[in-house]
Amino acid sequence: MTMPQHPVPDDPITRAEPLRAAVYARVVGLICSGDYEPGAAITEAALSRALNVSRTPVREALLRLEAEGVLQSALARGFTVRPLLRGETDELYPILAALESLAVTTAVPVSTATLDQLAATLAELEACTDPVRRWRLDTAWHSGIVAASGNGHLASMVTRIRTNLSRYELTYMREVRSRAAADREHREILAALGAGEGDRAAELLRDHWYGGMRLIQDWIKGRS
């Protein structure tokens, strides 16, 4: 029987890194890069060999991702990346919209340095055509807004939701390349932040995420 091929990380884990956190971060990176698509199997043995670590931290990472809703497991069948389900988007996108809106209202006024960095990331995002790179830039742009709030717990919650949604967004971006509307919405949000209009920026962010939810849901419906 042919064994499934498993992606190999570009940067092996060094012993100087905290092992549990490093393994978790590498597995998240593989999922968020699209190396493991929805429905793909993930095995402890293959990952432990690829990362050159024991199976214990790998299993801990996979169990954590299962608890976070990214993976699912079946008795004696290991783990798989959860499939795309419209009902899940109904739950996750409103949470993300609320969290990022809260971040904006606590981040304003945003420093000039942060605004400049957001503008630079957005310019790179608008010029990018590679779907995985676009997703990473989009994530970095939104993360920059959240980080400006100075709320570490809020940032961790947003990261967890974005990781869960990555399997939707990456698959969508691979199949639907037009992102002009999203780029325009980003510009409007950035303009509101630059003007110190926190409530306006929060409203635009909520609209942005709810609009993204509807696009994803229509796309899922069209694929079924």
What's the pLDDT tens digit per position in 11-48?
A: 655 555 588 889 998 888 888 877 888 889 998 998 99
Backbone angles phi, psi at 14, to 5 degrees: -95, 155
Residue 106 shares a structural domain with residue 215: yes
Which of 51, 81, 111 is the C-terminal boundary of a domain?
81
> Smallest Cα–Cα separation from 85: which of 165, 177, 170, 179?
165
Q: pLDDT band for position 1 (50/70/90)?
A: very low
Residue 96 shares a structural domain with residue 142: yes
User: Domain limits at 60?
Assistant: 19-81
What domain count does the chain have?
A: 2
Residue 117 shares a structural domain with residue 187: yes
C-alpha pair distances (Å), 208 with each of 60, 156, 160, 189, 205: 35, 21, 19, 9, 5
Position 3 in a domain = no
- How many H-runs (helices) and E-runs (strands) does the chain carry? 9, 3
Residue 128 shares a structural domain with residue 115: yes
Which of 30, 64, 81 is the C-terminal boundary of a domain?
81
Position 9 in a domain = no
CB contact at 8 A, 176 and 223: no
Look up residue 79 and give its amino acid.
F
Q: How many CB atoms lie within 10 A of CB 115?
A: 16
pTM over the 0.95 mark: no
Residue 158 shares a structural domain with residue 191: yes
The strand pairing partners of 78, in sequence order, are 74
Residue 69 shares a structural domain with residue 115: no
E strand segments, the chain: 41-42, 71-74, 78-81
In the prediction, which pLDDT does 4 show?
46
In the prediction, which pLDDT does 7 show?
60
